Structure 1
């Protein structure tokens, strides 16, 4: 069984006024933690610690979620996984929110053309989430970012591209909020990230020159909704000697080309949704 990384603590859930609303907020936060547990699942003690709740409370919420088929418990390992209802809901949501559905073809094409690893990153408040990772055929790969990994805002080429696509005050506020987590991940990284962000705004693509893992470089380009907000980012990760300046120019052109294609698919989706509403 593949060992899943320990889940990041859930974002603090505001205390709702009513007890019922509080239970719903806690259950949804718990469901998110179970989802981040990956294929290995998570045990009751792990979930209680990550959620900041007592074991009896977590057990009660898990029973309610299991009754709705939102989670299930492996009878052998006693660990919890997402249930079949979450898969069904995910298929319903894919056409509206499924950027991966619209980006996969571009990712496959980039991996085939470059031979390197292609990543799709989406924003999650002061974090980013790696939705997918597709590897090319070059035998030496970087493993700094894997599918399902969450990183603080700005950490990694895709995350940096997302920040650069935001209005400056909003991006600066996210960086400030994420600063303690960035410092824990890589002490002294914040000043370098500020410089990298300025360059990304100026050039239109974000470069991570091995800031977190030496020798592991990345180049990222944002995918924008029609209103200019970032929907996600495509990035290419490779070892340092495959990221020379001349090749970066080629990779950036390919990333921009595919990002624009994904944007056109998202724009067509928005148009169709408006027609359906009308």
Structure 2
């Protein structure tokens, strides 16, 4: 009798060679979505320039995406934006985990108790992806809207996660992404980063001391899954003149307690 089993992940004839299996037109269209997501509206010519594609090629891709609701065009000005269809697809990612739901109340508590913005993030593709934020009412505040991505080594949440990575995973991430300098405080050598992560692990929370943006600080702690692996992070971020380094132990204790609360609520365990 013939084997009627359905293929599960990919055809057996396919190999793990990205250049062979990639659909170029689809890859370019997804690249356009990424560019639009990083801007508040772009003209067709601007989008073509940023993607290094011909205007006609970009227009055909946009019309196709528009038909699926993935992009929208705004008149007047003919500015292209991310559409509601992209939000619905992206929202499916959030349904994979209960972390956002369980973190909401602790994040609101962190914002009230600290007076600063609370953030929730995960690692996706060697970067921090911010999933949720509870903003402070202060006029000057940190702002990381959901969907924002950033380098791990200059992020409080990124360093909170990396502090519990095994050495091979950490070295691999650094080899792939590098350690770009953003400010004079950025950690740009593996040795300096490892020393900072050792301190982070010992005290239970990470500090981003103006390492990505001058004048901004962040204190973060990891959330763990049932295997004791870091899967997300909570943070408090704000201007350095309101978040003095002397306050870091107090703020760190608050963030760690909130992160531990989410770990417990999602069935995770904090490693010893």
Scaled to the shorter chain, the TM-score interval is: 0.7 to 0.9
CA contact (8 A) 1:153 1:174 kept: no
For 1:160, the equivalent position in structure 2 comes to: 159
Measure the CA separation in 1 of the matches of 2:207 and 2:160. 8
Q: Please provide the CA RMSD for this pair.
A: 2.9
For 2:195, the equivalent position in structure 1 comes to: 195
> 2:19 pairs with 12, 15, 19, which one?
15
Measure the CA separation in 1 of the matches of 2:43 and 2:193. 36
As a proportion of its length, which structure holds more helix? 1
TM-score, normalised relative to structure 1: 0.75
Structure 2 gap segments, 5+ residues each: 1-17
Distance change (3 Å), C-alpha of 1:173 and 1:82 = same
Structure 1 gap segments, 5+ residues each: 1-13, 269-278
Tell me the alpha carbon deviations over residues 100-129 of structure 1, each in whole angstroms, 9 at most, x when there is no partner. Answer: 343222211100011122222221323223
Distance change (3 Å), C-alpha of 1:49 and 1:97 = farther
CA contact (8 A) 1:209 1:216 kept: yes
For 2:8, the equivalent position in structure 1 comes to: none
Distance change (3 Å), C-alpha of 1:210 and 1:186 = closer
Mapping 1:144-183, distance limit 5 Å: 146-147=144-145, 148-179=147-178, 182-183=180-181
Q: Matched residue pairs, number? A: 247
TM-score, normalised relative to structure 2: 0.76
Measure the CA separation in 2 of the matches of 1:208 and 1:199. 13
CA contact (8 A) 1:118 1:134 kept: yes
The answer on 1:33 being equivalent to 2:25 is: no
Tell me the alpha carbon deviations over residues 126-170 of structure 1, each in whole angstroms, 9 at most, x when there is no partner. Answer: 322333333335x47454x53254322211211211211322221
Measure the CA separation in 2 of the matches of 1:225 and 1:79. 42
For 1:132, the equivalent position in structure 2 comes to: 132
For 1:102, the equivalent position in structure 2 comes to: 102
Q: Structure 1 residue 240: deviation in Å? A: 5.0
Larger Rg: 2
